[in-house]
Amino acid sequence: MIGVFDSGFGGLTVLRALVDALPDRQFVYLGDHRAATYGNRSRDEIYDLARHAMEELFGLDCRLIVVACNTVAATSLRRLQREWLPACHPDRRILGVLVPMVEAITGVPWMADLPTRPIAGRKQTIAVFATRQTVLSNAFPVEIGKRAPEVTVVQQACPKLASLIEAGAAPADMAVLVRRYVEAMMDQLQGHAPDVVMLGCTHYPLVADLFSAALPRGIEILSQPTLVARSLTAYLAHHPEFDDCGDVRPPLFFTSGEPDIVSRLGSQFFGRPVIFRTIGQTRTPAIRESIAI
Ligand code: DGL
């Protein structure tokens, strides 16, 4: 089973792409809706929350987890992979959503030798919209800069957007906010439009139409869910140890929040009816049996 984790609803955008790309895999989704959103929390808090969520998913027998949250990937993933995993779960793996984005933008595989000089003729400007902690981490500019120093990266924090999406706010209210963030990004570029926009928070594809409407026409918006799905497909082809045995069923959905509310909004965001269960309840044998984990 493959776990997919996000602070809340955002990871559903990634899960949707994963299920479409890998229909023969069993996925389990966990949204930490009780603690959402993560983007304005401290790095230590984000690390602790993420580690706890990883434990929950490993407890459901996931051997591989995709952290479908840029905030966790940018602030905590390296620490989870290098310190916690080898010490506590050496046979399990955690992947993030940052690597596929950086590889797609730079055209340089993550583990490749880094280029020693800029590629002549390629001078792109990329605008990254993300949470406050993702922006503060500088993960995108640093990792892109190592591989493609000729690319200019402009970051724009959108500190209120994920919370409004989590709350199911009216599109008109969110449109005002998105326009403000786009204007702030354009100010940073002194009115010059970027070549490419990256929605560096998995919540934002849920309001991609608002970004399209607010941005100057003709700017490419990279699809993180599609890129993550492509990358996981390639990873699994090289890692048969994560092959599933047994029947594949529709994804299972868990939340640390209020399941009825989360199921209603989650169905809307996922695009088909889904039923979330409370994560803690799976620890009781009766519930584990009823959902056949
Ligand atoms: N969806 C998450 C991300 O990709 C986090 C949003 C939040 O919890 O603030 O960054």
Average pLDDT over residues 145-155: 94
- How far does the centroid of ligand 1 lie from the alpha carbon of residue 37, in Å? 7
Pocket lining: 39 vs ligand 1, CB cutoff 6 Å: yes
Structure tokens at 95: 């992947």
What's the pTM value of the predicted model, to 2 decimals? 0.93
* 62-76, 106-120, 121-135, 240-254, range with the lowest pLDDT: 106-120
Pocket lining: 205 vs ligand 1, CB cutoff 6 Å: no
- How far does the centroid of ligand 1 lie from the alpha carbon of residue 163, in Å? 9
pLDDT of residue 111: 75
Average pLDDT over residues 263-273: 97
Pocket lining: 10 vs ligand 1, CB cutoff 6 Å: yes
Atom number of ligand 1 nearest to Cα 11: 1
| Strand (E) or helix (H) holding 94 | strand 93-95
Atom number of ligand 1 nearest to Cα 130: 10
Pocket lining: 224 vs ligand 1, CB cutoff 6 Å: no
Atom number of ligand 1 nearest to Cα 203: 1
Closest CA to 17 of 232, 278, 237: 232
Instruction: Write the pLDDT tens digit of every residue in 87-133.
Output: 999 999 999 999 999 999 998 888 766 665 555 556 699 999 999 99
Average pLDDT over residues 242-252: 88
**10 Å Cβ neighbour count for 39?**
28
Amino acid at residue number 35: A
Distance of CA 247 to the CA centre of its chain: 27
Sign of CA dihedral 45, 48, 52, 54: positive
Closest CA to 229 of 25, 9, 7, 8: 25
Instruction: Specify whether 201 is catalytic.
Output: yes
pLDDT of residue 230: 96
- The answer to whether residue 181 scores a pLDDT higher than 80 is yes
* 102-106, 167-171, 199-203, range with the lowest pLDDT: 102-106
**10 Å Cβ neighbour count for 289?**
9
From 62, 158, 201, 245, active-site residue: 201
- How far does the centroid of ligand 1 lie from the alpha carbon of residue 88, in Å? 26
Contact 108, 141 (CB under 8 A): no
Instruction: Specify whether 88 is catalytic.
Output: no
pLDDT of residue 109: 85
DSSP 3-state of 27: strand
Mean pLDDT of the chain: 93
Contact 14, 67 (CB under 8 A): no
pLDDT of residue 160: 98
Average pLDDT over residues 168-176: 97
* 29-43, 110-124, 133-147, 226-240, range with the lowest pLDDT: 110-124
pLDDT of residue 287: 47
pLDDT of residue 122: 61
Average pLDDT over residues 242-248: 84
Atom number of ligand 1 nearest to Cα 36: 8
**Tally of CA atoms within 13 A in the half-sphere of 32 that contains its CB:** 26
Please identify which residue in the block is written with the tokens 């051997």: 63
Contact 112, 67 (CB under 8 A): no
* 64-73, 205-214, 232-241, 284-293, range with the lowest pLDDT: 284-293
Q: In terms of DSSP bridges, do strands 93-95 and 64-67 run parallel, antiparallel, or are they unpaired?
A: parallel
pLDDT of residue 19: 97
Closest CA to 26 of 232, 187, 245, 278: 245
Amino acid at residue number 105: I
Closest CA to 29 of 245, 222, 262, 233: 262
Average pLDDT over residues 247-266: 96
Average pLDDT over residues 159-168: 98
Contact 192, 1 (CB under 8 A): no
Contact 256, 282 (CB under 8 A): no
Average pLDDT over residues 41-48: 97
